[in-house]
Amino acid sequence: MLGSPYQGYLYAYPHKTAYRPLRPRPRLADVWAAEPVDALFLYVHVPFCEMRCGFCNLFTRAGPPEEQVTAYLDQLRRQTDRVAAAVPDASYARAAIGGGTPTYLTAAELTGLFDVLGETGLPAVPTSVETSPATATADRLAVLLERGTTRVSIGVQSFLDAEAHAAGRPQHRAEVDRALDTIRAAGPVELNIDLIYGIPGQTVQTWTESLRAALTWRPEELYLYPLYVRPMTGLGRRAPGAPDPEWDAQRLRLYRHAVDLLADAGYEQQSMRAFRRRDAPPAGDPGGPAYCCQDDGMVGLGCGARSYTTELHYSFDYAVSVRQVRGILDDYLRRPAEDFDFAEVGFALDGTEQRRRWLLKSLLRTSGVDPAGYAQRFGTGVDDDFPALGRLRDTGHLHGHKLTEEGLAYSDAIGPWLVSADVRAAMTEHVPR
């Protein structure tokens, strides 16, 4: 019924490839007018990296000229001012700075970025920042901690140089170790390490070596990603992806091995990808407002950032290829400030799509779906709205309203299987750029 277990990472719904130009463009003040804004998520996008990894399909530019970085921070300030005026009562529960690699910015530029965010009225809330082995330097980390960062996420992918290189990432183990030592020495901050499995040449033995190397630093979290070969990426240009049952079986074998190893090491699985150390303090701020990704909105700042309201998800245009990314970035930098008063590209969610998003954002977590919470939110029953859940129970992927171990392993098939026909059609019609 589900086919390959590796069809797509449904980290957001609808996916950005379903977005289309909004005509006429709605004003942000109108989009947010009736929205609850007391527990929002703030996401800030920094679209720069020191290099483009072979597996990466994010909106980012490698090695931009210094003047473009300066221009981007200036434009981000203008956008921030206009968004703050459009959502004047916004209160944030959490924040994240992603990319790209935010720590591609120098320490001075990071200070300027946090100064910009201060203009949003952002209080001291749990804040996550992404980094890389090459840019996790002591001066940058000092700025992050001084400005309230509570979580640092570093993309290591593999502790073995040969595997990192096979994934299109020419890093060296000594640089990775230095970066992790620097993060741990910087002060009290949560550490997340990203790893990838399914890399060409990777074995259970080498995967174990990477996992155990990561555990040396006792990260509060680990995110384990199956390798995908996507269009317009470095790996995609060299070896376009195609169905491969042997590769599927290898990725499943490595995933299951990691689940067992991390459970023995004291980690609790939270989703197919996320694992948290059981003795780590709960994520978030227990004294601040709680953020619920199913219900609460998100304000995005920057060229590639998305924003979520109940009825509209919006962003700017999306691309992966170098030429198209540069064109969209140039367009962002040329925009007059008043352009940021409007939503540009997006997807309007009717009641059915809102229900489907709530289901997917719950189902793909180990905590599963709360039927009472769903009924309270929508006034209908989740099983009545989604009879397909019965088929997942019949196949052993779902027990009650939680994915089974096999269901979690097939998350990247279950998510795409539950995508609506309208969203699937929009995604299919999208032309990769």
Please report which confidence band the pLDDT of residue 321 belongs to, taking 50, 70 and 90 as the band edges: confident
Q: Are 361 and 368 in contact (CB under 8 A)?
A: no
pLDDT at 240: 46
The rounded distance, in Å, linking the Cα atoms of 28 and 79 is: 12
Tokens of 208: 């174990």
Please state the domain extents for the chain: 16-277, 351-429
* Partners of 398 in the β-ladder: 403
Please tell me the predicted confidence (pLDDT) of residue 250: 96
Closest by Cα among 125, 121, 118, 131 to 95: 125
Compute the C-alpha angle 118/110/285, nearest 5°. Answer: 55
DSSP category for residue 342: B
Indicate the pLDDT class of residue 408, thresholds 50, 70 and 90.
very high
pLDDT for position 293: 82
Give the rounded percent of residues in the chain with a pLDDT score beyond 90: 80
**Does residue 217 contact residue 191 with C-beta atoms inside 8 Å?**
yes
Q: Are residues 221 and 262 in contact, defined by beta-carbon separation less than 8 angstroms?
A: no
Cα separation, 63 vs 130, whole angstroms: 17
Q: What's the pLDDT band for 305 if we cut at 50, 70, 90? A: very high
pLDDT of 54 reads 59
Q: Report the candidate in 165, 160, 244 with the shortest Cα–Cα distance to residue 203.
A: 160
Task: Tell me which CATH homologous superfamily contains domain 16-277.
Answer: tm_1862 like domain (3.80.30.20)
What pLDDT, in 10s, does the model give residues 50-108?
A: 876 656 667 788 899 999 999 999 999 999 999 999 999 999 999 999 988 999 999 99
Half-sphere exposure of residue 241: CA atoms within 13 angstroms, side-chain side: 19
Q: pLDDT (tens digit, 9 = 90+) per residue, 135-191?
A: 999 999 999 999 999 999 999 999 999 999 998 888 999 999 999 999 999 999 999
pLDDT value of position 232: 52
d(CA 176, CA 167): 15
Confidence band of 1 (pLDDT split at 50, 70, 90) = confident
Instruction: Specify the pLDDT at position 283.
Output: 76
Q: Contact at 8 Å (CB) between 202 and 253? A: no
Q: What is the spatial distance between Cα 114 and Cα 397, in angstroms, rounded to a whole number?
A: 44
Looking at every residue in the chain, the average pLDDT score rounds to 92
What SS3 string covers 359-411? HHHHHCECCCCCHHHHHHHHCCCHHHHCCHHHHHHHCCCEECCEECHHHHHCH
Q: How confident is the model at residue 118 (pLDDT cuts 50, 70, 90)?
A: confident
Question: With 70 as the cut, is the pLDDT of residue 286 above it?
Answer: no
Query: Worst-scoring range by mean pLDDT, 72-76, 97-101, 312-316, 383-387?
Result: 97-101
Is 189:183 a contact under the CB 8 Å cutoff? yes
Cα separation, 374 vs 392, in Å, equals: 19
DSSP H helical ranges for 5-160: 28-31, 66-86, 107-118, 138-146
Please write the tens of the pLDDT for every residue from 217-269: 999 999 999 999 865 555 555 454 566 899 999 999 999 999 999 999 999 99
User: How does residue 341 score in pLDDT terms, banded at 50, 70 and 90?
Assistant: very high
Q: In terms of Cα–Cα distance, which of 264, 286, 287 is closest to 277?
A: 264
Span 30-51, pLDDT tens digits: 999 999 999 999 999 999 998 7
Pairing of strands 61-62, 48-49: parallel
